[in-house]
Amino acid sequence: MSRLQLALNVSDLDAAVEFYTRLFGVGPAKRKPGYANFAVVDPPLKLVLFEGEEGGTINHLGVETESADEVVSAESRLSEAGLITTGIDDTICCFAE
């Protein structure tokens, strides 16, 4: 199986694990002091979190879908999990054109 691996530095590992567990609907595959990783099936992603004094920044983390229905379903699931969503519209990123 091919999947993207994304490693992030975070300042609060517990908060990050809680957020990504709600985001992806799956808990960490491995958890050690200062470290956690997620083996996400959909989308295929290995998310690795390293705890440090300063968390890093990231521009965005996006997931491409086959249909708008998948976006609507994901937004509903995330909202029900207590995450803030921005809604769905017909906006196309200037770089995607």
The pLDDT value recorded for residue 93 is: 59
pLDDT over 90 at 90, yes or no = no
Contacting residues for 83 by C-beta, under 8 A, at least 6 apart = 19, 22, 23
Residues 42, 71, single domain; the answer is no
Q: Could you read off the pLDDT of 24-59 as tens digits, one per residue?
A: 999 999 999 999 999 999 889 999 998 987 766 675
Cis peptide before 43 (omega within 30 of 0): yes
Residues 75, 37, single domain; the answer is no
pLDDT over 90 at 20, yes or no = yes
- Its domain, for residue 10, covers 1-53
Locate the DSSP E strands across the chain: 4-10, 30-32, 35-40, 45-51
Residues 48, 6, single domain; the answer is yes
The pLDDT value recorded for residue 86 is: 76
